[in-house]
Chains A and B, each alone.
Chain A
């Protein structure tokens, strides 16, 4: 690993200042994605700005019909939070299936969303639940947030502070994990929300995406048969990985079906 300057600011504003004008600086939250890539020299930041010293980013709270989860809340805390388990059990279950226990003790929701790994689990939840990414300067709708492979709508010096989830009527996540890495080969989150049915797929593409055809048929008739009927074109899916696009397309349907069954 290349060396770097380590910073531990006490406020979001100070953290933003440290990022400004330094393209080679990176934020550090739980580090469960960033440190492994830095160890392999795949990322070589000049500065790491740790968020760990900033108060107020570790809360889970209800605000009206929303559940607000601070950026530094760990996967384990989401998975074991009575509030999340009661209000959005599908989200708690998703968080409880990320990586492994040790990773869930360190990895954070904010870190996962900022990293935007195309095979991460949280993006599926954020997109399917129609969540809002709250940053130091604005709120970004999930539909506008994921812009591509490992890329997001965040400005280089912008910091996620929380994620706001509208509580759905029902939701569930079905994941086909990679046997070695435990990332999602395909993960499908299905949510019945006030604004209609939303279905998000992670793993299968260069970024998380919605299955609008399935959302439409589920809005009319919320049954698992709808998943089998929907057409997923292999051509739209990731290539070059271990799984072929045909298999990925098939898994999208199967995981969608299982997610629907789990939230029926």
Chain B
């Protein structure tokens, strides 16, 4: 049995996730995902 976390770990991890999301959106990754997901990616479905 390993002690891996304290009571703050989930809160800090959750907040870090939200901050990373915001940072990603700020650096244009939302648009990048939108661009990729709006086109049929033949390679992604095993055709190309």
A and B from one complex: no
B: residues with CB less than 8 A from A are: none
